[in-house]
Amino acid sequence: MAATSTTAKADPSGPGDRVLTAAQMRAAEQHLFQHGVDSFALMCGAGEAVAGHVARHWPGRDVVVLCGPGNNGGDGFIAAEALRRQGCGVTLLALRPIEAYRGDAARAAAGWQGQWLALDAANLETAVQPNALVVDALFGIGLDRSLDGAAAAAVNRCREAGAMVVAVDMPSGVSSDTGLVMGAAMLARQTVTFGWLKPGHLLLPGRLHAGALEVVPLAFDEASGRAGQQAGGPDIRCNGPASWILCLPRPGAMDHKYSRGHALVIGSAAMSGAGRLAARAARRIGAGMLTVAAPAEALPLFMADQPGLIARPLGRPEDLVEILLDSRISAVLVGSGMTPDAGTREAVLNALAGGRPVVVDGGGLTAFADRPQDLFVLGRPDVVLTPHEGEFARLFPDLGPELGKAARAQQAAQRSGATIVLKGSDTVIACPILRHDGVSGRVLVNREASPHLATAGSGDVLAGLVLGLLAQRMPAFEAAAAAVWFHSEAGFAAGPGLIAEDLPEQIPGIRRLIAEV
Ligand SMILES: NC(=O)C1=CN([C@@H]2O[C@H](COP(=O)(O)OP(=O)(O)OC[C@H]3O[C@@H](n4cnc5c(N)ncnc54)[C@H](OP(=O)(O)O)[C@@H]3O)[C@@H](O)[C@H]2O)[C@@H](O)CC1
Ligand SMILES: Nc1ncnc2c1ncn2[C@@H]1O[C@H](COP(=O)(O)OP(=O)(O)O)[C@@H](O)[C@H]1O
Ligand SMILES: [K+]
């Protein structure tokens, strides 16, 4: 079967922007088989696509192909034979003797016309010379335990030799569902994958092991992708405008400042900067009106900083309840820059009781570390929790990294009933609303963000962006995802030397750019 390959830069995630787990991928594959696609033809398409990729990027180079025990190895045999026929010098090392292969992989192995070498330490040392070009076809989506023995030795040898590795489907050793390294993992320059991206290509550290990604659709289409996701697990996609642009607020001729959205930031005296940054971000993303409620001594700071906002004193807890009587307030941010204590807890609970969409950030999350159930407001998907890893671990101590970031965020969303933004360089946004088509929720993975965002106050800006979009009545999951996307774009736009104060100022330019989308 001829493989069609895509190398789209803007969104290389294949048909749609789905991201499939290993189980979903297998279900998508079954869907194809039920509709007459031949499994060996699919493997041939995969192997030939890898060979085509290698020939395009390194024309005329000798190549070492490492074949594992299953179908990933099968793809390797097909690629090796295709390259050999093109006149490439190919050395092939296999983890199994030829007679031990089964199914399509056995058929692919039987088609290899070159020499057969065992994948062992001695052969690795001879074959993988410094700067060798290596096709890693050891393990793909079937990896289910840590690499050891010869497979681990292959990873080490490639690393020692500074080999340029092209990974087939997954860099071997990276879990396709979690992006976690199992024992040891190939550090690939490039990864050629099939059908759709897998979470492990996007989540850390897998993203760093995968290098540049090429998605080859093969025979996979929208119907098989949908069938794959409906077989179980969440609908995972890459975060981008396609996921939320239709509900991005746009002011119209009939709008006035209140109708555009009135956001409320609960500020603190100890760290007023957090609320100030959030307020500025909420206004830059389009909230028509912004009120800060903060201890009286902090109010002059807010007012001097931003003449366009309204400041109201917050002394007693009842003050917040009174402020929330104003029905024009359309969303609330609580927790940024607040100390994690009983007073903050009360402010969060009062904000939630106000019945508006609420963003809970920073100290507002940690204040519930010893009683997370009190924060979990089942049936309130308009509540957005924005934890970084530390805050997440305090609220969901049992949802550890071993589950993978996509699954952790999804389970946290379902447990809390809230939209979850699990921050980091690979921020994941999860929706608590279950669907009725067998898909257990929606998850978006932000592809990449500027590491310059790792600076104090950057999270406060993100919280403010979510607030500003919620205030404009954008649904919470979409608001959270759009905010994360704007935030990472702002990080790239500001670039080196970025400080949190720069981020809100980048928003209008980015907003203008996507107005045309
Ligand atoms: N679906 C698709 O889109 C397409 C799929 N295609 C290709 O098929 C690949 C999936 O093939 P696969 O299912 O045979 O799994 P694969 O990754 O080769 O692992 C093989 C076996 O290794 C074992 N094993 C696991 N971990 C281990 C470890 N650490 N150390 C040692 N052994 C370990 C484990 O078997 P076990 O030993 O448990 O019996 C496992 O079953 C996919 O990635 C893609 O390249 C394309 O051809 C066409 C499109
Ligand atoms: N290495 C990184 N690469 C990209 N984005 C990052 C990185 N580290 C942090 N971020 C982003 O920066 C923000 C930091 O938020 P947070 O940890 O709450 O900081 P703060 O509380 O100081 O504002 C988050 O949006 C996070 O996703
Ligand atoms: K591989």
451 CA to centre of ligand 3 in angstroms: 28
Say if residue 3's pLDDT is above 50.
no
CA of 483 to the centre of ligand 1 (A): 37
Distance (Å, whole) CA 213 – CA 206: 12
Whether 22-232 and 241-245+260-515 share one fold: the answer is: no
Cα–Cα nearest to 484, from 413, 420, 427: 427
Is the per-residue pLDDT at 10 higher than 70? no
Closest ligand 2 atom to Cα of 456 = 22
Of ligand 2's listed atoms, the one at least distance from the Cα of 448 is 4
Average pLDDT on 121-127 reads: 97
Give percent of the chain above pLDDT 90. Answer: 89
502-515 and 272-284 are packed helices; what angle lies between their axes, rounded to 10 degrees? 20
**In this predicted model, what pLDDT tens digit does every residue of 292-306 receive, in sequence order?**
999 999 999 999 999
The binding-site residues of ligand 2, defined as CB within 6 angstroms of any ligand atom, are 362, 388, 423-425, 427, 449-451, 453-454, 456-460, 462, 487
pLDDT > 70? residue 257: yes
pLDDT tens track for 409-418: 999 999 999 9
Pocket test for ligand 1, best of 141, 175, 181 (most atoms within 8 A of CB): 141
* Average pLDDT of the residues in 200-220: 97
Ligand 1 centre distance from Cα of residue 22 (Å): 10
Residues flagged as binding site for AMP: 423-427, 459
pLDDT tens for residues 145-180?
Answer: 999 999 999 999 999 999 999 999 999 999 999 999
pLDDT category at 7 given cuts 50, 70, 90 is: very low
Name which residue sits closest to atom 44 of ligand 1, judged by CA: 72
Per-residue pLDDT of 173-199, as tens digits, reads 999 999 999 999 999 999 999 999 999
| CATH (one of 3.40.50.300, 1.10.357.10, 3.90.230.10, 3.40.1190.20) for 241-245+260-515 | 3.40.1190.20
Q: Which of 364, 396, 342, 316 is nearest to 466 (CA)?
A: 364
User: For a substitution probing ligand 2, which of 386, 388, 489 has the most ligand atoms within 8 Å of its CB?
Assistant: 388
Query: What residues does each domain of the chain span?
Result: 22-232, 241-245+260-515
Predicted confidence at residue 13, as pLDDT, reads: 41
Query: Among 336, 361, 458, which residue has the most ligand 2 atoms within 8 Å of its CB, making it the best to mutate?
Result: 458
pLDDT at 441: 87
Mean residue pLDDT of the chain comes to 94
* pLDDT reported for residue 515: 75
Q: Rounded distance, CA 127 to CA 181, Å?
A: 25
Q: Is the pLDDT of residue 279 over 70?
A: yes
Give yes or no for residue 5 having a pLDDT over 70: no
Give the CATH superfamily of 22-232: YjeF N-terminal domain (3.40.50.10260)
pLDDT of residue 437: 64
Residues 171 and 66: beta-carbon distance below 8 Å: no
Residue nearest to atom 24 of ligand 1 (CA): 143
* Weakest mean pLDDT among 124-138, 156-170, 192-206, 307-321: 307-321
What's residue 378's pLDDT?
Answer: 77
Q: What is the pLDDT of residue 145?
A: 97
197 CA → ligand 1 middle, Å: 16
- Taking alpha carbons only, the member of 232, 231, 251, 248 closest to residue 240 is 248
| 235-254 pLDDT, tens digit each | 999 999 999 999 999 999 99
More confident of the two residues 483 and 11: 483
Structure ipTM = 0.96
Q: What is the mean pLDDT of residues 272-289?
A: 97
Q: What percent of the chain shows pLDDT beyond 70?
A: 96
Q: What is the mean pLDDT of residues 459-475?
A: 98
Round to whole Å and give the CA distance between 446 and 489.
11
Each residue of 341-373: pLDDT tens digit?
999 999 999 999 999 999 999 999 999 999 999
Assign 3-class secondary structure to 38-83.
CHHHHHHHHHHHHHHHHHHHCCCCCEEEEECCCHHHHHHHHHHHHH
Average pLDDT over residues 73-99: 97
The protein residue with its alpha carbon nearest to ligand 2, atom 25, reads 459
Rounded to the nearest angstrom, the distance between the alpha carbon of 313 and the centre of ligand 1 is: 62
Which residues contribute to the annotated binding site for K(+)?
Answer: 72, 136, 172
